[in-house]
Amino acid sequence: MSYDSEISLKNFKQNHDLNFDLLSDTEKVMGTAYGVNKYFFFPSRKTFLIDEKGILIHVFDTVDLNTHPRDIVEFFNNSKKVANHETIH
């Protein structure tokens, strides 16, 4: 979810060859609902992981841009281990 326009997000998706859609919230409706409108013009950066059924499964309240992709992958890998009853170290 981004406050950027749909056109801007469509271009970003194409430029980065993403295989999923990016959602635009130019009116800041979802930003308000999810409590990310921390600053006057800019939202606080958070990641909400929502499954295919629309259920919120995890919130990253803080995002380090240098490690965030790895943090998300690690979360999913650890979730699979728990689902498979494996030990997480």
Residue/partner pairs of 37-43 with CB below 8 Å, 24 or more apart = 42/3, 43/3
In the chain, where are the structural domains located? Answer: 1-44, 49-89
pLDDT in tens, 52-80: 888 888 999 888 889 988 999 999 888 87
pLDDT in tens, 4-50: 899 999 999 999 898 888 889 999 898 888 888 766 666 778 888 88
- 21-57 in b/e burial notation, b at 16+ Cβ within 10 A? eeebbeeeebbeebebbeeeeebeebeeeeeeeeeee
Model confidence at 89: pLDDT above 60: no
pLDDT at res. 21: 87
pTM above 0.85, yes or no: no
